[in-house]
Structure 1
Amino acid sequence: MNKVKILRPDDWHLHLRDGETMKAVLPATARAYGRAMVMPNLTPPITSVKQAVEYRKKIVESIPDKNNFTPLMTCYLTDSTSPHELVKGFMDQVFIAAKLYPAGATTNSENGVTSIKNIYSVLEKMEIHGIPLSIHGEVTNPEVDIFDREKVFIEQVLIPIRKKFPELKIVFEHLSSKEGVDYVLEKDGPTFSTITPHHMLLTRNDLFKGGLRMFNYCLPVVKKETDRKAIVDAATSGDDHFFFGSDSAPHFEKNKLKDKAAGGIFNAPNSIEYVTQIFAENNKIDQLEKFTSLNGASFYGFAPSEESLILIKKEKPIEKDLSIMQGKDNIRSFKPDVPLYWEIAGSNYNNRFEKNEIEDAR
């Protein structure tokens, strides 16, 4: 198959940052995705309804012309999060989820939760009101091997949360391990998961191939081939417990190349293209729309997009430099050692193709 049409996809895990960086990277997402769940780990973090409304306004004002794009906001949980503030934001349709960052787990997580018991009163209200809990699932104990942080989080944090709050809606973000996949497949309560393109493509060998490769460094770190394969199998299965979240995380090149380099991969310029290629190579293109356009929308209570996206496979690899300059600083785009053949050919939300092209694409 060399051409596919899907309903316009959504990105259920996205970092846009703020200020000029947000304005620089936003078009890379808005070109393809109709909605995106925007992460709240700014400086300072988005912890109140007022902050979320102001941040959303800045994003909306920066959306490129002819792109019908909707940012969806999340609340950053801290040890002192007010249950009332969170519930109010959810009822007012400002917050669609609350994000749990274990303190110190990833970028701008210093204000995160130091002990899960500190937010039990918040989780209780979330369970009652049906507010989804979006989780960065890693422990931060320095005695735990970095490649085991997700597995240990399941054992020490996630399973106890589920026992304490059996009806709490949970999204286990950016799965990176077979153990994570297996846990979601157990259907232990309403536990769902997002999957990124880089965790479907990379293993820890890609971190060290020919030397340390910091542009393949993300959190949670990529792991073994058995983990990567389990993640691909889950994403392409059609199971509605798995849906797309790019975890696209822009960092300036200078911050990726320094000591204590920033963890994160900026994949917004080619994320849907790589995901389509993965599904095609695994003969699961018929499951692509479920993963990218249906499962996540269903979980969060949204109707699927009425818009469409067409992708085509080229005969030769696409060699475009998708990096983005912000002033004098470069934000390097995801470029794994995997030739990319797929690209967006058109859409019906910015007049890039005619009606007959939509009808012909399958």
Structure 2
Amino acid sequence: MLRHSLRVRLLLPVLALALATVIATAIGLAVVQAHQVKADADASIKGQSVALQSLFSVTRSIMLERVHNSMRLLRQETDALGLPSSGPEVTVSGRQANELLFGNKPQANTFQVVDSVTSIMDGTATLFSASGDDFVRVSTNVKKDDGSRAIGTQLDPHGPAIAEIRKGLAFYGVVDILGNPYVTGYEPIYDGRNPKPIGIWYVGYKTDLESLDSVIGDSHVLDSGFVALFDSKGKLRFHSKTGATTDPAQIEKVSQEQPLDWSVDKQEVPGWGFTLVSAYPKSDINRIITRQTLWIGGLGLLVCLLLLGLQSVLIWNRVLQPVQRLTAVADQLSLGKWDNTIEEVKLKDEIGTLARAIARLSNSVRLAMERLSKR
């Protein structure tokens, strides 16, 4: 029977040891690989985040310098007209607001000052007039979606700029204007009599984020992860357009709900009010680990089979074949044939010891048979 074969009995321990080694190695490498894959994913997120944060920082720094220069020009233009003051109510695009005067020259519904500033410095400029607790655009070249000037619209009452203005402070930073991010500057206008601002000087530049859209669009994490950018109002601005997760609705859902089967990293973008989100499903790591574990296991089994083949050849040449020859000699000896050549007597191992014992036995039988034949 095969199970009683000496070769099988010799190879089974080797096979068991090899399989145990392969399994233990695969499990050990899977654990190490799990940590490595997660570390690589986290490093990828960190690297992409650092690059994007740096891009934001440089963009903001450059644009703020332009904003400060434009603000100086706007104030020079209005200072040249005379001192500021508040006038009677006027209608601005269907809304009532106080007239804003510089040197008794009304600015509501006129655009010479704001347009002269932007003709030199580009960007946008606005003169706000106080209307109760609100500030209304009475002169501006900020455009609405339909292309018309955004006069009659008010400064966001919940935004960061108005909070600083109400404190009597200037504000420089990124704000959302009519649904678009602008790098802006706001400075309060006083008439010298009223402790509250009668208006606001504004200049700003709409952020050109096409390069950012390209960078984020080409970014993803592992197979199914994504990178996304949300503005201060939680609106999804840019997101990955490569990888398995590109649907905006799914990206928004994962970013907001942060499900347990996803790893989600959120970072605030200083000075912008944006939120940078990087996320990937944990199943991506499990899939990579499974794939690599199977590859390692397959390679281990191949090595195991090669070792078994080599071991089988060695067992046959070094053990089984000599044992078979000695068995044949012993069988011949039992039949009275003692003139067999036993080459295994030259071996220095246990088989050589057995071969020499059989040779002595064969010689003893031969001598005994010779003595018996002489009687």
Q: TM-score, normalised by structure 2?
A: 0.24
Higher helix share: 2
TM-score (structure 1 length as normaliser):
0.25
